[in-house]
Chain A
Amino acid sequence: MADDSGVSKPVVEEASAEQTRAAACYRPHVDILETADELVVLADVPGAAADSIDVDFEQGRLTVHARVPARQKEGTEFWLQEYGVADFHRSLQIGEAIDAAGIRAEYADGVLAVHLPKAPSAKPRKIAVRAG
C-alpha cells in the first residue's frame, strides 16, 4: 500500500515491542504524512475520549494508547457482531529527527492527529550559492 509509494528511507517503522503487547488491544489504522516541517500521524481511534488517549514519544518511538469503554451493557447478545470494541494501541519508530518539545496532538471525530515537528537539522534547507 503506502509503502510502495517510492519512499527510499524508512522514516517510520513498526516498533518491535508492539508484538509483545497484550492481544486485548486493537491496532489502529494510521496514515503518516510528511511535510517540509513536520510528520503527522493520523490514527483512527473511534470511541475514545480525548482525555483517555495517551501519546508518548521516547527515543524516537511514538506510542499511542487509547482506552475505549464498552458501549453495550454487559452480556449484550449481538444479532450481528462484525467488530470488537477494545483499547487501541500502536507503537511506531520514527526515523526522522524530531523536536520532541514541540510535539502536539489533537483529537476530533474519532481521529487522533499527532504533529511531530522536525528537528532543525532534519528540515530541508535552501543553500544559497554565492557567486565566486
Chain B
Amino acid sequence: MTFWYGSRHPVQQLRRELDRLWSGFAENVGHMAEGAWSLAGRGRPPVNIWEEDDAVRVELEVPGVKADQLELSVTGQQLAIRIERPSIEEPGVTYHRRERPVGTFHRVVRLPVPVDTGRVEAELRQGVLTITLAKTEAAKARRIYVSGSG
C-alpha cells in the first residue's frame, strides 16, 4: 500500500480512491476566527505538508508576521496554528488597494503520522513558516516502500 499521491495526478477514478484513503488519516479541519484570508480569495491560511525520512514538515506563507504573532501547539497527532496579522491604521493614510489579509487566523491540521511532540521545531524565514515534526520511531518503521515502476 502506498500512502502518498501526486497532487497533479490526472486519473479521476484513482483520485477518488485516494481521497477515500486520505480522509482516513489526514482529516483537515480549518476555519477562520476573525478577519478574512478570504479577502484575498483564500478561505483560510493554506498549508503544504510533506514528509521526509525522519520528519513531517508543515509550511505556511505568513509574510509580515513576526515570531511573537504565531502560536503553535501540538497535541497527539494534531497541530494547531494561530496567526496574528494586525491591521496597521495610521492617521493621514489613504488606502488605494488593500489585498493583504489581516486579522487572526486559525488552522488545525491533522498530521499523517504520529510525531514526537517533544521534538517540534519551527523556523520563520522571509515570511515562510516551516514546522518540522520528528516522527516517532514507530512511525518511521511503519513506512513500507513498494518497489516497481508505477
Contact = CB atoms under 8 A, between A and B. Distances in A.
Interface of A: 1-3, 5, 7, 11-12, 29-36, 39, 42, 44-49, 71-72, 76-83, 109-111
Interface of B: 4-7, 26, 28, 39-40, 46-51, 56, 59, 61-66, 92-101, 109, 112, 124, 126-128, 130
Most A Cβ at <10 Å: residue of B4, B65, B66, B98: B98
Decide if the interface of chain A is mainly helix, strand, loop or mixed: loop
B100 A29 contact: yes
Contact of B127 (A33, A36, A47): A47
A46 B97 contact: no
8 contacts: A5-B94, A31-B95, A34-B93, A46-B62, A71-B59, A72-B50, A83-B46, A110-B128
Contacts of A33: 93-96
Nearest to A34: B94
A44 B64 contact: yes
A2 B98 contact: yes
Given A1-B97, A47-B61, A109-B64, 6 more contacts: A2-B96, A31-B99, A34-B96, A36-B92, A45-B127, A79-B51
Given A5-B95, A47-B61, A79-B50, A30 B100 contact: yes
A49 B99 contact: no
A128 B47 CA distance: 57
Contacts of B5: 77
A78 B48 contact: yes
Nearest to B59: A71
Given A2-B99, A47-B128, A77-B6, A29 B47 contact: no
